[in-house]
Amino acid sequence: MSIVEKAGANVLKTNFGKKAKKKKDKLTDETPDMPAPRQEREIIELDHQRLTALGYFNPDAPSSQLALELRAVKRRLLRRLGYLRASGARQALRTPGRQRNLILVTSTRAGEGKTFTAINLALSLALEDNIRTLLIDADFARPKVRARLGLPAAPGLADCLLDDAVDTAGLGWRVKDTTLEFLPEGARADRPSELFASARSQRLWNDIAMADPDRLVIVDAAPVLATTDAVVLAKYVDEIVFVVEANSTPEPAVAAAIDELIDINANVSVMLNRCQIGAGGAHYGSYEYYDRARPDEEPEAAEASKKE
Ligand SMILES: Nc1ncnc2c1ncn2[C@@H]1O[C@H](COP(=O)(O)OP(=O)(O)OP(=O)(O)O)[C@@H](O)[C@H]1O
Ligand SMILES: [Mg+2]
């Protein structure tokens, strides 16, 4: 059986509530080099026109194909994290020391759509569902979130990993009038895998998770076969969204990468990116949980989905 199965039929059944706010203000893209660390979190505005032109989620187009597909992805993800139950309220699936709010986005190899997916999930969770969401760029080899969002270089995750005295709380940006925050990659880090494996890193991810238990944290990471970064990060997170570019990455490579992750963290789900559904362009076509050891859904959630 293929490790990736189409779940496109689910796409149109989903319906996540609120319509997002309208934001069309311009963002300055003249970016100075690395400025001095800031003491307070800065407030920024996103250029949604530009993001939409790049193919990203547009809060003003709640019926777009992308918005619909993202809803299907979010629904499964939120259920796994305990956000969506029959009651509609988040219930405590937390285990001691774990908030179930850290989500790693990775893939087998470069260019499969990790950053595209991480940004879309963060935009959609925050702007459509009003869930507090922190997007972190942890792909130190190819950090691209900042550029995609049109933001300048700034201190970020690497600074916190390199220096105990630097706290994530004062870094990063808050997107004006939304529940979205973004922590950039920060300083250049020469040996990211070692940094991620450090005791400081373990504390830092724990602090990020505990800082706001109801905030979701989306971590854009390097691909599994390129470095050990993603595998190291896998041990700190609660869920892993594994992006597979449709009709591109050879299945044995995908399986090898997933096996590496599963050895560390069994909560891996596969998301097929750029698959063709109908006459349209590139779509998210599938979101299937790879972990066969655990039930696919909590019993209440399964009941709820039957009623949808
Ligand atoms: N479903 C999609 N529809 C349209 N464009 C897409 C889609 N998926 C990815 N892209 C585009 O393809 C390019 C590569 O995607 P992206 O940068 O997200 O990949 P990545 O896995 O993060 O790559 P890297 O490993 O280099 O970080 C980007 O320009 C992105 O905007
Ligand atoms: Mg990327």
Q: What is the pLDDT of residue 160?
A: 95
CATH value at residue 119: 3.40.50.300
Q: Is the CB–ligand 1 distance for residue 282 below 6 Å? A: yes
Owning domain of residue 66: 36-307
In the block, which residue shows the tokens 């509530």?
17
- Domain assignment of residue 7, yes or no: no
Looking at the predicted structure, is the pLDDT value of residue 201 above 70? yes
pLDDT tens digits, 115-166 = 999 999 999 999 999 999 999 999 999 999 999 999 999 999 999 999 988 8
pLDDT tens digits, 278-306 = 555 555 654 555 543 444 444 443 344 44
Q: What is the pLDDT of residue 299?
A: 40
- Domain assignment of residue 118, yes or no: yes
* Pocket residue to mutate for ligand 1, from 56, 112, 115, most atoms within 8 A of Cβ: 115
Read off the pTM. Answer: 0.81
3-state secondary structure of 39: coil
Counting DSSP H helices and E strands in the chain, the numbers are 11, 11
φ, ψ of residue 154 to 5 degrees: the values are -160, 160
Which one of the ligands is nearest to 145 CA?
2
Please give the structure tokens belonging to residue 62.
Answer: 């709640």
Nearest-angstrom CA–CA distance, 36 and 38: 6
- Domain assignment of residue 211, yes or no: yes
- Domain assignment of residue 147, yes or no: yes
Nearest-angstrom CA–CA distance, 305 and 251: 30
Q: Into how many domains does the chain fold?
A: 1
Q: What is the pLDDT of residue 100?
A: 85
